[in-house]
Amino acid sequence: MSHIVLLGDSIFDNAAYVAGGPDVVQQLREQLPAGWQATLKAVDGSTTSGVKAQLHRLPRDASHLVLSVGGNDALGQSGILGEGANSVADALSRLAAIREHFGRNYRVMLDAVLAVGLPTAVCTIYDARYPEPSRQRLVVTALTLFNDCITREAFTRGLPLIDLRLICDREEDYANPIEPSVRGGKKIAAAIARLVAEHDFSRRRSEVFLQPRV
């Protein structure tokens, strides 16, 4: 039997955004086989620096860790989207500095998670859904910098990856521009359940998991 622990931010800790509907961990429990468990340690608003505290007092029978974090790190740097630049090179240089800073933070955080010694999977940051097309375009483009760091770390370490960009791909998957709705949470939960059931962690080989539309 498995006991899955969810780490990270409001992608998993989304109860405050679903108007009394089931949150991700509740929907995951409903999709797991009989006898399996799921525990929420993710905390709304967390960044990469906050994940280490979530590792304290893990369930003694925890068998798998699933991590979704980075969106709030990106949100904290979103002010750059409104700044001017003297040249394309100047703009790219600023973006490169942000990418490098996040990459270091994500690497340190992931080292701490893997030090626990449990099978671990990570998630990309999804594209969000802003109503203004121009802002949506900028956000999706900027998030590629952060997702490049996440995917590189996952593939370098042979970790399975849940690509939330391709799972939460419709407006109804979002309760607001940056939080998953009940529908989106159901799709995320289904991907986690499938990953834990199907992935062979002993091979230490990366595999990308998606969930068909529901």
Torsion, CA 109, CA 103, CA 168, CA 31, rounded to 10: -20
**Per the confidence metrics, is the pTM higher than 0.95?**
no
Task: Specify the residue for token string 């969000």.
Answer: 128
Phi/psi at 137 (5° precision): -60, -45
- List the alpha helices (DSSP H) in 79-167: 88-114, 133-157, 164-167
pLDDT for 108 beyond 50:
yes
Q: Measure the N-to-C terminal CA separation of the chain; round to a whole number of Å.
A: 26
2-29 average pLDDT score: 97
The superfamily (CATH) of domain 3-209 is SGNH hydrolase (3.40.50.1110)
Tokens of 165: 């960009």
42 band by pLDDT with thresholds 50, 70 and 90: very high
- Residue whose pair of structure tokens reads 């933070």 in the numeric block: 105
* Encoded tokens for 172: 């109804």
Tokens representing 206? 């990366």
pLDDT at 214: 47
SS3 call for 208 = strand
